[in-house]
Structure 1
Amino acid sequence: MSSEGTLRYTSAPHRREAILRRVELDGYVAAADLVTDLGVSANTVRRDLQKLAEDGLIRAVRGGATAAADASAPPFADRSVQAADAKRGIAAAAVRHVEPGTTVALDSGTTTLEIAKLLPADAGLTVITHSLPAIAVLAPRPDITLIGIGGQYGRDTRSFGGPETLAALEQLSVRTLFLAATALDGSGVYGATPYEAETKRRLISVSRRTIVVGDARKFALSAPIRVCGWGAVERLVTDGVPAGFTGVRVELVS
């Protein structure tokens, strides 16, 4: 880095503004990278991250920072009771696409939790998930090989995320991914935060096929981060779509 660039970041407000831009763009920033890029000490970076976290602008995690949780996203417990019947119907339809003897990945979400409850018995399945509720449901089942993906725990989503989660997912291979969404529209699938979106993208990248599960309300909701277009998805299992929707093959449940 040039001396001019280094001098720019001797000001704490300038440094913190630069850190926020990095988190907003990438969803995650490593503290070690900030030391190099900003030309300051590790202690300075640590103080900057602590201050930004205290102000609610980022979430400090081991080794760096991620985007703060979206305050507009309702907590998991609230979402779990919304459209409960529709979610159970969607889950029942979705599990029919599970092939015996294969590896299934469950994204974090209330509909994917319903899928976890309905996975067929004695089908020789391996299940990968970073969702703590899904892990709790599947852990007692001796007929399922469970791979729980850890990392930084997010209480709002009741799931794990962060660099450890992404690194672990990169080493895996999945036959069928059941992907949740904060919102849906004609162009694709959306998530609430950059880092949530990156976890979903990593799941898609290691899966041979992706099935999106979400109730019709998701088309009336909005979220800031586009996860993927419909071209990355095999089908959408839902209880309703807007008139004229042609983004992907739709499996409607009543």
Structure 2
Amino acid sequence: MTSEGTLRYTSAPHRREAILRRVEQDGYVAAADLVTDLGVSFNTVRRDLRRLAGDGLIRAVRGGATAADATAPPFTDRSAQATGAKRAIAAAAVAHVEPGTAVALDSGTTTLEIARLLPADAGLTVITHSLPAIAVLAPRPDITLIGIGGQYGRDTRSFGGPETLAALEHLSVRTLFLAATALDGSGVYGATPYEAETKRRLISIARRTVVVADARKFALSAPIRVCGWEAAERLVTDGVPEGFAGVPVQLAP
């Protein structure tokens, strides 16, 4: 038989076409899922991913593949952009910090500004995988700091991967401040699989999620949808597109 389904499993070109479709549709595909869906071995999947990555069609990452352009802009580049807006957003966001509670800070340049502005002597516990935030908070004796490790990403200056997800699994926080690579009317987007999975795990351990992002993020794009607006309580920003109704908005002064 030479049905389309059979070709998809047995023909390398058809397998690679199927992989590309998955990456284009979802932004990321796990190697383990490809083994199951295509009915081939891990070695076959690894060869296909290496070939597609070598042709510049995808980007091979640990455990799977993502879009070829799915990389986060370097932290140093992002930290120099919209600095005034980020500080204003952070100042507005810290008003949602409740004394005596646990707070989680996602990695990012806006959440780093929040780390700098956390109120003194409020009895806070702060959980974060952001190395710059850890460095800012480590000297403060009034804060109980839980730093989450894992595989270090130099572009984002944060930790990610299975070790990070495992460390977060049994934690709980009152408020999560969630960063974003891009935003649109349907939700929050991330640049890499590690980043997106870490954000989702943070959302799962938080009683409420506050998205913090400057208005430029509505003009940017990223390949992986982290969550819809139903996962967030509010968005703190300096501006939104006309007609935006995804979630209650707090505009920073």
* Superposed pair shares fold, TM > 0.5: yes
Mapped contact 1:75–1:156 kept (Cα < 8 A): yes
Deviation at 1:194, TM superposition (A): 2.6
CA 1:98/1:66 → structure 2, altered by over 3 Å: closer, same or farther? farther
1:176 matches 2:213: no
Q: How many residues align?
A: 248
**Paired residue for 1:77?**
76
Counterpart of 2:132 in structure 1: which amino acid? Answer: P
CA 1:35/1:236 → structure 2, altered by over 3 Å: closer, same or farther? closer
How many angstroms apart in 2 are the aligned matches of 1:130 and 1:50? 30
Residue segments in structure 2 that go unaligned for 5+ positions in a row: 1-7
Mapped contact 2:70–2:223 kept (Cα < 8 A): no
Counterpart of 1:127 in structure 2: which amino acid? Answer: V
Mapped contact 1:28–1:67 kept (Cα < 8 A): yes
Counterpart of 1:134 in structure 2: which amino acid? Answer: A
Structure-to-structure mapping, 1:38-57, within 5 angstroms: none
Structure-to-structure mapping, 1:145-160, within 5 angstroms: 145-160=144-159
How many angstroms apart in 2 are the aligned matches of 1:85 and 1:192? 24
**Paired residue for 1:3?**
none
How many angstroms apart in 2 are the aligned matches of 1:186 and 1:38? 34
Deviation at 1:195, TM superposition (A): 2.7
CA 1:28/1:167 → structure 2, altered by over 3 Å: closer, same or farther? farther
1:106 matches 2:105: yes
Mapped contact 2:30–2:64 kept (Cα < 8 A): yes
**Paired residue for 1:226?**
225
Structure-to-structure mapping, 1:20-99, within 5 angstroms: 27=28, 29=30, 58=59, 61=62, 64=63, 67=66, 70=69, 73-99=72-98
1:200 matches 2:199: yes
How many angstroms apart in 1 are the aligned matches of 2:15 and 2:154? 29
How many angstroms apart in 2 are the aligned matches of 1:108 and 1:19? 30
What secondary structure, in the 3-state scheme, does the structure 1 residue paired with 2:225 have? Answer: strand
Counterpart of 2:157 in structure 1: which amino acid? Answer: R
How many angstroms apart in 2 are the aligned matches of 1:209 and 1:248? 13
How many angstroms apart in 1 are the aligned matches of 2:99 and 2:22? 43
Counterpart of 1:136 in structure 2: which amino acid? Answer: A
What secondary structure, in the 3-state scheme, does the structure 2 residue paired with 1:91 have? Answer: helix
CA 1:213/1:200 → structure 2, altered by over 3 Å: closer, same or farther? same
Residue segments in structure 1 that go unaligned for 5+ positions in a row: 1-7
What secondary structure, in the 3-state scheme, does the structure 2 residue paired with 1:99 have? Answer: coil
